[in-house]
Amino acid sequence: AAEGGSAQAAAQPAGSGSAYETLLVSTEDDITTIKMNRPTKYNAITTEMYSEIIRALEQAAKDQSVLTVFTGAGDYYCSGNDLTNFTRIPEGGIQQMARDGGELLRKYIKAYIDFPKPLVAVVNGPAVGVSVTVLGLFDLVYATERATFHTPFSLLGQSPEGCSSYTFPKMMGVAKASEVLLFNQKLTAAQACQQGLVTEVFPDSSFQAEVWTRLKAYAKLPPNSLALSKQLIRSVERQKLHEVNDAEVERLVERWLSDECMNAVMGFFQSKAKL
């Protein structure tokens, strides 16, 4: 399949050096592609990967590309927050871990809110947790029919982030958003498209070819017109999004320290250990 500006999963892209441990970042045809590159872990986001994505977004914001594309290596898009993040307890104890995790998440989401160019998700497979919620901050979301969208926050005693407590009810109405954000309903690609989370769904066999053909054409449009139009749309709600991000992170830090969450995360590792 023609993958255009995206690098192959196994290879280091030309010209990017080895700036990132967890990502493949490359620029081609006026498109900067950020590919999550932990395919054996379903691209689960470690603390390091959060930091690297923030850095990659800062770079992409400044480079000469017209579009920035987000995608995943392998068959998964992203399995969300890597739960091993909860097992690295710093000297300050779990309170410190929760505060640090909250501050990192806040900066991570902030990088999406403030991104100044059109941001495109090429959802190449299942997406979970924060990789789903943050899609509400993208400008275009293309998905293979194999993609699913799952945010099992309450199963883990947690609460929504990525501004989804604002963007999801806004796009799909509270009656649909609550079943997704509170009650763990997994959306198919078609359902996610009908609810407005996904721009368009493609057959898996032609997904990469069709999407990259379209993106290469989009990248030839007047770049200032695109960036300024995107910023115009974002400016209407940028302040609201920052407020929501702050409130969500505050709530989530409390959640991480709650019995409900600790028991659920411990249960996860115990059931994994039994396998």
Q: How far are the Cα atoms of 118, 139, 221, 234, 238 from residue 231, in angstroms, in the given order? A: 9, 11, 16, 5, 9
User: Using CB under 8 A, which of 1, 10, 155, 257 touches its own copies?
Assistant: 155
Instruction: Verify binding: residue 139, its own copies, rule CB under 8 A.
Output: yes
**Considering only CA atoms, which of 66, 55, 61 is closest in space to residue 28?**
66
Q: Which is nearer to its own copies, 87 or 239 (CB)?
A: 239
Q: List helix spans (H) across 63-199.
A: 93-113, 130-133, 164-172, 174-181, 189-194
Taking CB under 8 A as the criterion, the residue among 171, 209, 262, 265 binding its own copies is 171
CA 263-267-268 angle, 5° bins: 120
- 64 binds its own copies, rule: CB under 8 A: no
CA distances from 133 to 58, 90, 166 (A): 20, 27, 10
Q: Supply the minimum distance, in Å, between the C-beta of residue 41 and its own copies.
A: 25
Segment lying near its own copies (by CB under 8 A), choices 16-24, 27-35, 107-115, 222-230: 222-230
Shortest approach of its own copies to residue 156 CB, angstroms? Answer: 8
CB of 35 to its own copies, least distance (A): 20
Q: Kindly tell me which of 159 and 208 has the beta carbon lying closer to its own copies.
A: 159
**Contact between 221 and its own copies (CB under 8 A)?**
yes
Residues 232-271 that bind its own copies (CB under 8 A): 232-233, 235-236, 240, 244, 247-248, 251, 254-255, 258, 260-261, 264
H/E segment holding residue 116? none
Q: Name the phi and psi angles at 256, rounded to 5.
A: -60, -30
Considering only 20, 42, 138, 202, the residue that binds its own copies (CB under 8 A) is 138
Q: Should residue 226 be labelled a site residue for its own copies when binding is judged by CB under 8 A?
A: yes
Angle subtended by helix axes 47-62 and 93-113, to nearest 10: 20
In the range 37-56, which residues lie near its own copies by CB under 8 A? none
CB of 131 to its own copies, least distance (A): 15
Q: What are residue 68's phi and psi, to 5 degrees? A: -120, 130
What dihedral do alpha carbons 49, 136, 241, 227 form, nearest 10°?
90
Give me the residues that bind its own copies (CB under 8 A), please: 118, 135-136, 138-141, 153-155, 157-160, 165-167, 169-179, 181-184, 195-200, 218, 221-222, 224-226, 228-230, 232-233, 235-236, 240, 244, 247-248, 251, 254-255, 258, 260-261, 264
